[in-house]
Each structure stands twice: as C-alpha cells, then as structure tokens.
Amino acid sequence: MQSTMIENTDVRVSRLSFGTASMHHVFSALQRQRMLEAAALAGIRHFDTAPYYGYGLAEADLGVFLQGRRGAFTVTTKVGLYPYGRASHNALEVWTRKATGKIYPKLSAPEVDWHVKRAANSLNGSLKRLKTDHVDFLFLHEPDINVINTDVFLRWLETERAAGKVRYWGLAGEPGRIKPWLTSRHPLATVLQTRDDLMMKSANFILENGRQLQFTYGYLSSINTDESAIEIMRNALLRNTQGSILVSTRHPERITELARCVK
C-alpha cells in the first residue's frame, strides 16, 4: 500500500489507517484479531485507537496484535475522553455495560476530564494495554479550547516526549472542536484528525489555513448516493492527497476491498 509522511512529523503511515472504534461490536476475540490481521495483510500500517473505544477493549486487542511486531506499525491513542469506571478486557463485559447504559446513560457516556494527572495515568494505562513503550501520536480527544489549561498540557506532553512515550501530539475530533485551535495557531495543533466529507468538505478550514489534510475520516458514512464504496474511497484519496484516511469496519473483506484503491 502507498504511504505518506504526515505533515509536521517524520512519521510515515499507510494511506489508509484502521480505526478501532467499532471493533467491540465483534463479540469473538479471535474474529477481532482476524480483522486486525486482515488490515495488515491489506497493507495498512497505521492503527487508531483510544481508551474510550470499547472501554479499553480496543487497545487491549490491538496490544495482542502488536506483540512481536510493534516496529512494523504506527499507532495513535488519545486522552480526554474515558470510559466510566474501569477499563474492560472482554466483549461480554463491554456489551453488558453498553446495555446498562441504555437505561442509565451516564454509564455509557464518556467521562470528560482535562486534568493532566488523569491524562498521564491514562497514557500509562494505554501503553500497558497496547503492550508498547510508546505511541507515535497522542491526540487530545474532542478537545474544548475553552476548558483546557493548554500551557500545562503542552509542558506535560513535552515531558512525555522526552521520556520516549510519545513521538508527536495533536487533536482529534469534529471540525467545530478543531477549528479554533488551528485558527489560533496553537502549538497543540501539530497533527490534526477530523471528520471530512466529499460534499460539504467540512475539513476545508484546514486547507484554508495553509495546512495539509493529515488524518481524516467519515467519507463512507457521510454520503448517501448510489456510488460504490470503492468510488467514494478513490475520490476521498483525491481529496486527501497528503495524509491518511481512517476506515472502520467489522467485515475483513471490506478492508481488502478498500485497500485495492491504494495499491
């Protein structure tokens, strides 16, 4: 698969990345590993995860997959949004918590916490679940520029980078969350991951600010046309020419199908 160097970094990633946000919908641990293997066999070399995805299950699954081959892949995780209570390590517990959350929404909604101490503990927990000593990117997850002590966060990230735990940092979230950081030229906005689409082109604000599209997602879910997924992905790659497009699916054959666009 084609690869690209992410702007403002020396990290090269595959043009398609695999997002693990919905992996917990696959009940079988073996099937989840097969899905990650399918992504790797298709040429995908970058994986995106977060402690909130599957209440920690996505990171744990990815950690199993990465054992013995961490150097062949790049990884993103996040801080800021956390599962209510402790992390989960099996699908039954995740599904039970999700079902309970339909009755008590607080149990399934993310905990939002922008204290650096919580972020530091979360990063250590993520590294443990991922079975690695570092991540290539650490993103602030749906960051609100009005409530984050940005100076404290920046100093903490610099400390973690000096310790070798984080190579680069940035922001991940909806365009409305990301735009004020970019327009103010904030140093936390080094790498950006946001939703985009082919009709409204909601990530245009990045290009208008003289930046490249780095990590984008949402193309397949935002278009309601008769176009095939292959056609949509080809057009998405023409739109995001310098970065990586996140895809997320529960079907290994879909990963193989989409990867043909970037062989």
Pick the residue with more confidence: 213 or 223?
Answer: 213
pLDDT of residue 14 exceeding 60:
yes
The H or E element spanning position 74 is strand 74-79
CB-CB contact of 178 with 194 (8 Å): yes
pTM tops 0.75: yes
**Distance of alpha carbon 141 from alpha carbon 155, whole angstroms:** 18
Average pLDDT over all residues of the chain? 92
Tokens of 68: 């013995």
CATH label of the domain that carries residue 32: 3.20.20.100
CB-CB contact of 82 with 51 (8 Å): yes
Instruction: Give 252's contacts (C-beta < 8 A, 6+ positions apart).
Output: 34, 35, 38
Domain count of the chain?
1
Range of the domain at 224: 3-262
pLDDT of residue 108: 67
Mean pLDDT confidence for 193-217: 97
**Distance of alpha carbon 144 from alpha carbon 171, whole angstroms:** 10
pLDDT digits (tens, 9 = 90+) for 47-76: 999 999 997 999 999 999 999 999 999 999
Confidence of residue 168 (pLDDT cuts 50, 70, 90): very high
